Every structure is written in structure tokens, then in C-alpha cells.
Structure 1
Amino acid sequence: METLNECKVMASLPLVTRAVIAWLVVAAASITSTRSIAESPTDSDRESVQLKRLREDVAYLASEELRGRSVADDTILLAADYIADRMNNVGLDTTSFGGSPFQQVAISLGPQAGPAANNRVVIRIEPQAPDAQGSAGESDSPNEADHRGTAIVADLGDGMNPMAIGSTRGQLTGPVVFAGYGITAPKLGYDDYSGIDVAGSIVVIMRKEPQANDPDSRFDGTKNTRHAFFSTKIQNAIRHGASAIIFVNDRDSISEKVDDQKRRIAAELERRETIQKQIAGLPAEATNSRETLAKRIAGIDSMVESMTADLQRIQRGVLGISDAGDRPPSAPGEPVVSIPVVSIARDLVDQMTRQTTGKTVGELEASIHQSLRPASEVLSGVSITMAVDMKEGNRESPNVVGVLEGRGPMASETVVVGAHYDHVGMGGVGSLAPGTIAVHNGADDNASGTAAMLATAAAMVQRLADVPDHRRIVFIAFTGEERGLLGSKYYVRHPRFSIDATVAMINLDMVGRVRDNELTVYGTGSADSIESIVDAANAETQFDLFKVPTGYGPSDHQSFYEVGVPVLFFFTGLHNDYHRPSDDFGKIDFGGLTRITDITCNSTFELATRRERPRYAVTDRQVQIRRQMTAFLGVTLSDRGDQVAITGLTPGGPAEQSGIRVGDRLNTIAGKPIRRSSDVLERLRNQSPGDEVKIEVFREGKSVLLVPRLVARPDR
């Protein structure tokens, strides 16, 4: 894996040099592929070359070396160079922007911490007289006595984080007050600031509010009131004259994150065991397969090591820089009022509260929950020096554009085929594995779509070589999709070719996990003829298409649809690896990806050559993103009129264990009626492994209610 410094050196090299270095990864295969095409291969040869290129492209883009292709990381430039070189090699024009394929996009990275030396908290605890606070001189912590009269340092990322919701810069020293939950709620008869003066002090405030999850609480209990919001607590602290805030994460939130992290570690270890069994079952001569699987195990080991280190940080409860959101803007004409806000580890707060109260923050938390009485107190003998330094991160990242020029009367019109190539890097913004610092490879999201886009480009160069009249096709690898469709939004505002003359856009995003032969297609109602084009394109590939009329949705096609361009969006569904480190190369279905490339090619060819351009149509903005079915019931079904019969059971499966029998007729699942087998699949699609689902069946003229606990669906 290349270091960050090495990536910066690469970023400073000329484009041609960078492209050559990136391309060396697959140079030999490139020569073989190009030679095969040049020698007029058979259809079988083309399929073999296409599959090989798809595998090579996904392998490189999802490699550890690219560290997840975050727009905040210099490795995004290596990915851009690779894509540009691939476009050039298949025969596209890559000179659209001053002789370059790169359309630079300005991207805001949000608040970023400055130097570590400018972001730290130093806690000073003065020794107390032996009789002060009674038992305050005793401690269950073996290290606490060592800290008395000394300074405890919480460094950036190790016990402390500045928070973007507070001041971006500041340094101060002050006394410390424990202010409970930082709530003033007269209507609820609760005030953490009652009888205590915090003016000029640094206040320590716990996250959320008292008696969470207690339906009998004066607070709502079952859900947060406004008093639980970070912004409410901050404004209340400012009104009471506090100079800075230290937030302490609550136990329930920490436990939830700890449990989630442990589950992810267990899942990766289970995956490692599965791969180990695959290796054990290989014949002696399968050296390449053994080597590939060994690399996957090494990657899992590295990931588990990182995740285990993250677990220790999660257990300490330090909040992330953006966990509370950004500082809200002031109303027009009002001055900006903000104070420094940080989060520190609970164990460090324990050392402060024990000094004066004799209790840990957990004990204070429990006391407030039980009595609903504030436990606020000046922490005498404790002072803090705090420094925060944050800045708005900005950088440029390129869309990569390759053009296949048109011919004849339609040459001035354009079809766009696009896919985003950025992902979420090592975690952080966009990651669904909070706190984890590990490569989020993004093999499905969206190395798969980028690879299919490149394969479509290669195929279109060949298929249109002798066609005298066809539209221009513009192939775009978009940057910044994970930050809010930034690359595609920028392109439609600054198009290389007129948007008015752009007849359609095809988007490929997460197309590497075909399951049950399903392919979801969004945008089938975005133009009058678009659905018939997809149906015709599918005549060869024979997917079970799930058509969604809307042209909206959280991917790059929406940017085009919003400016009047009909769209198609191919998608194989959300899965449990989405935006997690486990979205890796070994889980891509390359047979399915090849077929998706074929339906994309067929659709693109039709849009490029048919005389009449699709007429834009208005669709509903409401979008529900379809997920893959991950839960397993263990039944075989048969449609019989308007009823669905159970014709088989998986031995030991959830259905059999719950008492479902062969011959039962399904009436409802989760309270919703069942009329066809497809209804069963849709009900289960919204369930997860571990869920208990109520199933009503008809048996011998009677209604029987059963509640199987679903399990994870076996791998295909």
C-alpha cells in the first residue's frame, strides 16, 4: 500500500507520467486485450476480453492502494488517471478540457481539524486535603492518584475531538463545572443550572436527556425532546455565561456503537473462516486461487486489527468532529455567538468528577435518572486549558470525460453514460461503520459501475465503427457523488456539450451484486419511449426487471433529470456491505456484471441511433431505494389462484422450526395480505436476519399464527 506522502508525490507528477504509472498495474493484460480486438475477435473472444477487463478494472479501483477513493485523499487522482488512460486506450477522445479529460470540480470537505498541537485539552487536578469530600481521596482507578496535582492531556483523536458545532478557533483556561445534561426546562420542572453559577467556566455536559427510554418520564422518554439537541444545550450554556463546553457521550449510545462494532468484527472473522475452508478444499495445483484467497485473508486480518483498535476508541465514547452537525448560521443582522465545543473520553471525565463529587460520571448519570434531580456542581480543584483549531477543507477533484464523436445528421446530439468513481475512503463522512478507520473498498459502490461504463465505451467504439449516422456518446466518471452528487451537478451546470441537445443519460451505480436475476431500473417513466428501449435491450439479457418510473433518486442521474434530460439508472440493490469496509472485490458477481454491461450497451446503442429522441416526462419525486433480500425463511412456494401454497421446507430452516407445514396456505406476512409468491418476496425484502415476523396460514380450514425468526440468507 502506498503511503500518503507517496500519493502526494504521484499527484505532483505530470498527467502522462501518473497515467503510465497507474497503468503499469494492468499493462500486460492491456496489451493482450488490445491485440485481441485489433485482430477482429469472435463474439466468444470479445466476451472473454470484456470479462477480463471488468475484473481488472474493479480489482484496481477497489484495491487497498486506492484507500477507498475519497475525494479528500490524493489517491482519487490515481483512480482518475487510470480511468482516463482506459478511456484513451479504448478509443475515446480525452481532450475535452484544454487537451485533458479532467473537468475540475471544487469540493468542500467540511470542517477539518487543524494541527494536533492546536487541538488538545489539558486537565489539571489539584490535590485535596485528606478529609475533603470524605472518600474523595479513595479511588477504584489505579492511575487516578498519579494524576492528582498533575496534568492529564487529551490529544486530538486520542481522548479528545473538537466539534464543528462550536467555534472554529480558540484557546482558553478556566474553572470547570459539571452541569449534568445542560438543560433548563421550566415547564418540566427541571434545571441543571439552578443554584449554580457557570459564568466564565467550562461546563461539562452529558449528551441527550434524563430518563431516556422511560415512558413515564416527565421528558418524553420514548423519544428525544428538543432539550436533547446539541444546539439547544449550547445556546443554553451561552445564555448562562459558559466560556466553553465539553460534551460527554451517553452510555446507551456508546453501548450501541460497541455492540455494532463487535458484530462487524465477528462477521469479518466468520468470512475469514469461510475463505480458510475454501483454501483447504482447493486442489494442490490451484496456486493462483490459493494466492488470491490468501490475499483476501490478509486484507481481513488488517481490517480486523484496525476495527479492534477502533473498538477501544469507541468504548471511550469520544464523539466525532461532525457528530453534532455544523454551527447553525446566525439570523440576518444578528452577531455570531459561539464558544469552543469539544468531546472528551468518559474515563477522563471520571477523573474530574471524582475529585469533587466522589462519583464517576456514570454514577452521576444514574443518580439523575433515578431521582430526576440535577447533580450539577463546581469541580473545585479542577481547571482546564482547551485549544481548538478547525478550518473548512476544500479541494479540486476531477470528473473524467471521454467522448465518442457522432456522425451524420444526429452528430450534434448527445447521449451520456456515467458512473461515479469516488467512494468514502477510510471511513468518516458517508461511512456506515462509524468510528472505523479501514479501507472502504467500494467494489460495488461504485467500482462496478465505473468498470461497466468503461466496458460499454469499448463496446460502443466497436459497434458504431461502421454506423454512418449516430449521436455523440459522452462517457463520464463522476467525482463527489458521495458528497451530494457534486460532480454531476457541476457537469450539468458547465456541460461540455449542450444540455438541450442531450437526449438521455444512463447511470450505473452499484451494479455488481445481481441476485435472483433481478435488475432494478429507475427512470422508466422519465420519457415516453424509455421503457420500450429498456425492454428491447433486455430481450438478449433476460433480467427480471423491476421498473421504477421516477427519474429522481440519490445518484448522478438525478442531476440530469432535474435539468430536463430523460434518464435510466441501472441498480442491483442495497446490501449489508453498503458503505462499509466489507464491500470488496470477492463479493462481485462478474457474470451478472457482464450481462449488465450488455443491457447497457444495447440501451446506449438504441439511444444513439434511433431517429426520434425520447420526450421528457414528469415523474414523482418520492423514491424508495430497493434493497436486496438478505433474510431467509426456508420455503418453496406455488401460486394457486389467488393463494400461495407451501410446497417445500428447508430442513432445520426458520419456517420448519416455527411450525409451518407443507400444504399450508399463506394468508398474511407482517399483517399484509399474500396473494402471489412475489408478495412473499417483497415482504421478506423489508426484513433482516434476526427479525421475528408474524405469518398467518390457513391449515385444515383454520387460521394459524406462527412467528419464525429469520436467519441470514445463504450465499449463492
Structure 2
Amino acid sequence: MRILLPRRTASCLSVGLMACVFAISSGGSAEVVPEVVTRLTSDLKYLASDELEGRGVGTNGLNVAADYVAKAFKDAGLNVTTAGGDPFQEFTMTTGAKLGPTNTLKLVGPEGKTIELAIDKDFQVCSFGASGTFNAELVFGGYAIDAKDDKYQDLEGIDIKGKVVIVIRKTPRQGDAHGPFAAGHGGQSRHADLRAKISNAFGKGAAAILFVNDVASGKKEIEQAKQRAKDAAEPVVDAAAVLLAADANNAEAVKAAREKLDEAVKKVQQQRDAATKVETDVLMKFGYAGFNQNAGGPIFHVTQATLDQVLQASLKKTLAALEAEIDQDLKPRTAVLSGWKAEGQASVELIKTDVKNVIAVIEGQGELAEETVVVGAHYDHVGFGGQNSLAPGVKDVHNGADDNGSGTVSLIELARRFGARKEPLKRRLVFIAFTAEEMGLIGSDRYCKEPIYPLEKTVAMINMDMVGRLKEEKLIVYGTGTSPHWKGQLERLNGVSKFELVMKPEGFGPSDQSSFYAKKIPVLHFFTGTHSEYHRPGDDVHLINFDGMARVVDMIEQVTLETVQAIEKPQYVEVKGSGDQAQTRSGGSRPYFGSIPDLGNETPGYALSGVTGGGPADKGGVKAADVIVEFGMNKISSLDDFDLALRKFKSGEEVEVIVLRKGERVTLKVTLGQPK
């Protein structure tokens, strides 16, 4: 095989089967070395195999993947003892919830009338609520919708502080495609979101929430079941016609026609039976909709039949009647249920999971040896699906070949290449495989809070996330505006690589470079684009463009080498805005605030790792490490609360924001910007 040396490289070395990895010469073009493709393929086939359980946090497969990466780093000749004697920066994070031992609920009416409820039959505890006990007055809170612009606010004008609030799921007038609560892109109105209802109720001081299924959805399910039975009857007519037309002297034809008719009749009967057995009031199973470690109080889901007893006794109306009245005039029917209390206890135990970043180092030599360049990629994925999957309800293994098996094996390949160099590096080069990126950049956030090497001497961070699906030569690089150095360097190197280079200036975005950019470190993030298999079970090895990935690695190697060896370090530049490489839940309908969440911080409230320079939050005096606890009179216990509160306002409005700053409450005024 012909290997052309880059001008800056005096020689290329081999370690075992390892050959020199890039084939570049002045005026030439990049060539893919077969041995590189073989290594990348071998690594990825293992890391993205079913055996590794989708590398989900909490799975054994993720630990196996960590061991694999650590061994690869060690075999490449890197120092794997800097994180306390081994390759692992270990820590514990909250990953779920389980039902504790004591969960009770009873409704107590006038003169001591008591309705004792049974778990799994009459009620269920919701995993997204908190543990706690309560004994408080009952309030019917309607849908707990706060839609000021549509003049519909269930909880306006009633004091629910310290009370237990009954909340109907979904929205009024669900069938009205042009009404104020018409379904959005996700198939339902944002006002139907459980998070919105919870935030509204706890934001006004509710002690606990009792969710109840809306009657309208149940009626719709029955109608759909009846329609399926009706649709199943049509093939019976067709099959009967075929039987009547069959030649009586052709026994085989008659037999086949009769079998088709029998099969069609059987399907009709099955659909009719199913229509009579439709369950219209199913309780949410514990675990539905995930968990919330900063929930405002206990949350239960109670059957319609149970709450109808209370509503009938107090308001002389059933839930169905109340829904019908609201649908009629779109006016809330919120009311105190006089004489009725709810007594209960919820036991929701948060699950803690041990996770680890994998770290390896090549030390620098000379005057710049104490400066550090970090090259990283997250090695976790979404396991068997769940909240982070875009295939709802599917529990198949999500192998994450591209996301981010591709970045992980590229990181390993770079470690092998740099480990094979005899020439000393001027700066320290740190390789990090980050954990728990899919749960909110948790691994990179932890490293930035507890760095092995000082961040003030970390001169650059280079990240790889989804680099395995190169198509039409399009290579996207984020962070090109975070240092004046990057753009020219990339353009020069691309003269050889010949990518269709798309340069994005933003340093913030939904991957691990954001954690470093929040610490004012120049960053680059390499990405070959999203695809229809993103966060779905179909993200498998057979779809990877290994030749393309090898060429991407070549370019990243050159960028890394020049950054490590250059006399001048990249200078940090603050860039407004953030990249949007992947789908995010925020959408463009809310006004712009300009904050960067600290998802690794478990403090109640919305913790910030930074703010976007020149954005509304920055101009209003919000700072990194602040924790937002109130936003425009809305209590904020989590990022969800903040997201929902922000949507209540419009661009141009001034909002009072209360933050915790070093333990002190600080009140600020922020003028919201146009949606991004």
C-alpha cells in the first residue's frame, strides 16, 4: 500500500498491525488506509452489538464498553492511571425511581365518611412525583391549564396552597381542530402535557396532585374499537361473494372460499369482542413518564369511579358532566370540595447508579507541557429505549452505532495513532470517553466540575459525536467561531480532505463540547449529520460509512496534532446562540432567554452552567452557577418548570427572575428576546 507522508510528519511508525493512518501530501488527496477501516469496523461491531445492551446508563453493557475503551487506551500505550490510579473517573447519578414500601390513599368526607383506596386497583403512585405525606382539603382543579392568551385558566382565582388538587388529563374540546387546545406537532396540545399541569399546580402551592383520566379519551377509544369492528365486516361480504361465485363442481375452490369466509367472520367476532372489552380508565403504571428528582410533592393517579363518588357528593355532578360543561362554554369549573380531604403517603425511592468517564493521557514535554488539549466522545447510548428514544413504546435494544459508537471508535483510533508517535508532544493530550451524555451531558459536566487537569490551562476541546454517516461529503463542524484560529485551519486542512465543509460558529449545542465551552474553552465538534435512525433501534453498524469515518478521523487527527504542537494556543471567543444538530424539545415557539442548563446539578430549581453572551439572561445579570427558583411569579423546581414557565411569556416582555447565587436570593429583571 502506498502511504504518502504529510509535510509536518517526519516519519510514520507501526505498532503491531498498525500502519501510518493518514495519506496526505501537498496537492494530493486523502486516501483511506484499509487497516484503519478494519480497526474501526472491528471496534464498532463489538461496541454496537446487542451484547452491550445499547450502552444505556445502568446496564452492564455500559460497564463492559468502559472496560473495552480503557483496554484500548492502555494497549495504545497511553497513561491510564491519572484518574486516581486507574482510567475511571467514577461518580454516582440519579437514573430512575422505584416504588417504596408505604403507599396509601384515602378520601375522607363530611361526618367522617371514608373511602379507603387500594393501590393498583383504585390508585397508583406516579414515579414523577415526590415522596411525602399529606392530609389536606380537596380541590377540583379541572385540567390545571394556564392559557392566559386563550382566556382559560383553571387555577386562577382559587387558593390551592396546601391543598390536594384533582387534575383531569388532556384538554377540553379535544376534537376541535381549530380550538385553543388543538393538537400540535406531537399529536396533542402542549397544555395536555403532564409536566405543564404539574408545574401549574405545584407552582401555586398544591400539597399533592390526584390525576384522573379524562372521559373524552375513553369515549374516543370505544368509538375507534367499534369502527374497527365495522371495518372488519366488509371483508365478510367480499368473502361471501367469492363463495357464492365459486364453481360448485370445484371442491378445492369452494373449500378455499369457505375458509376465507370463516377467517373473515372470525376476525369480525374478535373485533366485536375487543370493542366490548375496551378499558377506558387505565391507571398509569409506575415508571410512566420517567422520574423527577425535584418534584414539588406527591402525585397519584386515581380512577374515575373513585373520584366520581366525591364529585357527586360535593358538586352533585360526575366527572363526565363537568367535562361536558367545560366543553360547552370553555369556562373552568374549579371548586373546593367542601368537607372532603385526602390523606395519603407516597414512597418514591430514587435509584442511584455508578457511572464513569474513561480517561487516558499522553504527557507533553517542554515549556507548554502543563497546557492541555482534550479530545473526547461520549460512549453511552439509550439502552433499550425509554424516554430518550424516538421510537415510543419500543423496548428493543438501541445499539447506537452512529450515536455515538462512531465517535467512540474514532477516539480509540486517535489514541492508537498518537500513542504510536515517537516525536514528543508539546502539550498534554487527554482522551476522554464521556458517560451519560444522553441523559444531559452528565459525564462531561462532571469532568469540568472535577477536572483531572486545571481548566484554566486547558486550551481546547475537540469533540466527536455521530461521525459515522458521511453523506455527499458533508462534514459539519461546530465551534468554528470559538477561536479565530479554527476557520483558517479547517479550510487549509480541507484542501486535502475535500469535504463539503459546513462550519457553524456556535460553541454551545447538544453534545459534550458545551460543558467545556461554558468554561470559556475554545471547542470544535465534528458531526456528519442526523438521520431517520437517530435514537431509534435501527442505528446499526451496517449503515455506517467506514471509509468516510476514516477520513473524518484523519482530519481530526491533523487538527488535534496542530493544536497540541502550535506555539500559540487558540484564543477563546464568545459566540452568541447555540448549535441545533439534533432535535430538541424546546422548539421555536417560546421567547429567547439565553441560558445553558447544568444538567448534572441536582439542586432544586433550574441550575445554570452558563449564559449565552449578549443574550437576554446575560443582559439581565444572570450568571453561570445561578439557580433559577422563580420566573415571573412561577415557582421553578426543575428545567421542565422553567421551560413551561418561559412559554407563558412573549418576546419583549420583562420578567422578574429570582436566582439563588451562593446561597443568597437575588432578584433580576430580564427582557425576553425573539424565539430562536
Report the TM-score, using the length of structure 1 for normalisation: 0.57
Aligned to 2:65: 79
Would the alpha carbon gap of residues 339 and 562 (structure 1) be closer, same or farther in structure 2, given more than 3 Å must change? closer
Deviations 1:489-521 (A, max 9, x none): 222333222333323211001111212211100
Query: Aligned to 1:512, which of 451, 462, 468?
Result: 468
Is the 8 Å Cα contact of residues 551 and 568 (structure 1) preserved in structure 2?
Answer: yes
Is the 8 Å Cα contact of residues 318 and 343 (structure 1) preserved in structure 2?
Answer: yes
Aligned to 2:55: 69
Q: Quick one: distance in 1 between partners of 2:204 and 2:532?
A: 40
Q: Quick one: distance in 1 between partners of 2:141 and 2:131?
A: 23
Would the alpha carbon gap of residues 473 and 214 (structure 1) be closer, same or farther in structure 2, given more than 3 Å must change? same
Cα RMSD of the aligned pairs, angstroms, is 5.1
Q: Report the secondary structure of 2:352's partner residue.
A: strand
Aligned to 1:566: 522
Q: Quick one: distance in 2 between partners of 1:470 and 1:327?
A: 45
Q: Quick one: distance in 2 between partners of 1:193 and 1:531?
A: 53
Q: As a proportion of its length, which structure holds more helix?
A: 1
Query: Aligned to 1:599, which of 539, 545, 555?
Result: 555
Cα deviation for residue 314 of structure 1 reads 12
Query: Aligned to 1:427, which of 382, 385, 398?
Result: 385
Q: Quick one: distance in 1 between partners of 2:505 and 2:50?
A: 37
> Are 1:349 and 2:304 counterparts?
yes
Aligned to 1:133: none
Matched residue count = 493
Query: Aligned to 2:16, which of 38, 42, 57?
Result: 38
Unaligned runs of 5+ in 1: 1-34, 125-148, 260-311, 330-337, 628-716
Residue identity opposite 1:246 in structure 2: F
Unaligned runs of 5+ in 2: 1-12, 24-30, 109-114, 225-277, 584-676
Q: Quick one: distance in 1 between partners of 2:280 and 2:54?
A: 22
Aligned to 2:447: 491
Q: Quick one: distance in 1 between partners of 2:162 and 2:507?
A: 54
Q: Quick one: distance in 2 between partners of 1:595 and 1:625?
A: 21
Would the alpha carbon gap of residues 224 and 413 (structure 1) be closer, same or farther in structure 2, given more than 3 Å must change? closer
Aligned to 1:104: 90
Is the 8 Å Cα contact of residues 163 and 343 (structure 1) preserved in structure 2?
Answer: no
Aligned to 1:210: 172
Q: Quick one: distance in 1 between partners of 2:218 and 2:581?
A: 27
Q: Report the secondary structure of 2:404's partner residue.
A: helix
Cα deviation for residue 189 of structure 1 reads 9.8
Deviations 1:333-376 (A, max 9, x none): xxxxx6531235xxx53687499979996786456423547789
Aligned to 1:394: 352
Cα deviation for residue 192 of structure 1 reads 7.9
Q: Quick one: distance in 2 between partners of 1:201 and 1:497?
A: 51
Cα deviation for residue 88 of structure 1 reads 0.7
Q: Quick one: distance in 2 between partners of 1:507 and 1:48?
A: 24
Query: Aligned to 2:498, which of 533, 542, 547?
Result: 542
Cα deviation for residue 413 of structure 1 reads 2.8
Query: Aligned to 1:411, which of 348, 359, 369?
Result: 369
Q: Quick one: distance in 2 between partners of 1:592 and 1:189?
A: 55
Is the 8 Å Cα contact of residues 212 and 304 (structure 2) preserved in structure 1?
Answer: no
Is the 8 Å Cα contact of residues 523 and 550 (structure 1) preserved in structure 2?
Answer: yes
Query: Aligned to 1:438, which of 375, 396, 399?
Result: 396
Q: Quick one: distance in 2 between partners of 1:213 and 1:349?
A: 21
Report the TM-score, using the length of structure 2 for normalisation: 0.60
Q: Quick one: distance in 2 between partners of 1:218 and 1:449?
A: 44
Q: Quick one: distance in 2 between partners of 1:175 and 1:615?
A: 60
Is the 8 Å Cα contact of residues 182 and 237 (structure 1) preserved in structure 2?
Answer: no
Aligned to 2:74: 88
Identity of paired residues, percent? 35
Q: Quick one: distance in 2 between partners of 1:543 and 1:361?
A: 62
Aligned to 1:134: none
Is the 8 Å Cα contact of residues 311 and 318 (structure 2) preserved in structure 1?
Answer: no
> Are 1:53 and 2:39 counterparts?
yes
After superposing the two structures, state which structure 1 stretch, 44-53 or 390-399, moved more: 44-53
Deviations 1:550-596 (A, max 9, x none): 22222111222222322111011222332233323332222221121
1:298-697 equivalences in 2 (<5 Å): 316=282, 318=284, 323=289, 326=292, 340-343=298-301, 348-349=303-304, 353=308, 365-366=323-324, 368-370=326-328, 372=330, 388-462=346-420, 464-465=421-422, 467-468=423-424, 470-625=426-581
Residue identity opposite 1:449 in structure 2: G
Q: Report the secondary structure of 2:390's partner residue.
A: coil
Would the alpha carbon gap of residues 449 and 313 (structure 1) be closer, same or farther in structure 2, given more than 3 Å must change? farther
Q: Quick one: distance in 2 between partners of 1:315 and 1:56?
A: 50
Cα deviation for residue 468 of structure 1 reads 4.4
Aligned to 1:669: none
1:3-14 equivalences in 2 (<5 Å): none
Would the alpha carbon gap of residues 255 and 529 (structure 1) be closer, same or farther in structure 2, given more than 3 Å must change? farther
> Are 1:169 and 2:132 counterparts?
yes
Deviations 1:265-286 (A, max 9, x none): xxxxxxxxxxxxxxxxxxxxxx
Cα deviation for residue 402 of structure 1 reads 0.9
